[in-house]
Amino acid sequence: MNIFICYATTEGQTRRIARAVSETIIKAGHRAAYTDAEIIDDLEIGRYDAVIMAGSIHIGRYQPALVHRITTWLETLKRIPTAFVSVSLSAASDDPEDLADAKAFADRLFDETGWTPDLVHHAAGAFRYTRYDFFKRWAMRFIAMQKGAPTDASEDVEYTDWDALERFTGEFIDHAEQMKTG
């Protein structure tokens, strides 16, 4: 099976997640390619057996390039197995309201684009203090302080559950194989 991962990232965590998904797919004996939604030109998405889209939430929205790719490829995405990996700090929380917010952001994306992926995974992101400008670092430290998270701006703090991501990728591979043979 040939699986494509299209991602959009702001500070790089979603790129790391897309790479990990690709590695899991390859380790399972399939082909995988991943590319940033910002740099794709005329990719024929229909040449892939399945697609995973991944994006991160910033100020309540996903990256415009990701939304553009979904709407551009919508008809093909409706015909093949698809998944969505939503990356957010809300997914790192144990607070039911934060988790509901993470789900609501993804649901709004699906409503706006008309795309309904077969599977969705909410992956916890990271505080990338070392990559923020002064104002964003200040705002993110404030958010971290409110949530009881580390606020030392000299170090990044990663919350991604790599094992959960690997399990999700395996579930998607199984799903795509069943759809292909089924």
Q: What is the DSSP letter of 130?
A: G
| C-alpha to C-alpha distance for 172 and 164, rounded to whole angstroms | 12
Average pLDDT over the chain, rounded to an integer: 89
Domains of the chain: 2-125+160-181 (3.40.50.360), 128-157 (no CATH)
CA atoms within 13 A on the CB side of 161: 17
Q: Which residues pair with 63 in a beta bridge?
A: none
Query: In the prediction, which pLDDT does 182 show?
Result: 67
DSSP 105-150: HHHHHHHHH----SEEEEEE-EE-GGGS-HHHHHHHHHHHHHHT--
Query: In the prediction, which pLDDT does 58 show?
Result: 82
Q: What is the DSSP letter of 80?
A: S
Q: Are strands 2-7 and 50-56 parallel, antiparallel or unpaired?
A: parallel
Helix/strand/coil for 17:
helix
Residue by residue, pLDDT tens for the chain (182 residues) are 999 999 999 888 999 999 999 999 999 999 999 999 999 877 888 899 999 999 999 878 999 999 999 999 999 999 999 999 999 977 877 888 878 988 999 999 999 999 999 999 999 887 676 776 777 666 766 776 677 666 777 777 687 899 999 999 999 999 999 988 76
Contacts of 28 by beta carbon, 8 Å cutoff, 6+ apart: 169, 170, 173
Phi then psi for residue 83, to 5 deg, are -145, 160
Query: In the prediction, which pLDDT does 144 show?
Result: 65
Residue with tokens 């004996």: 29
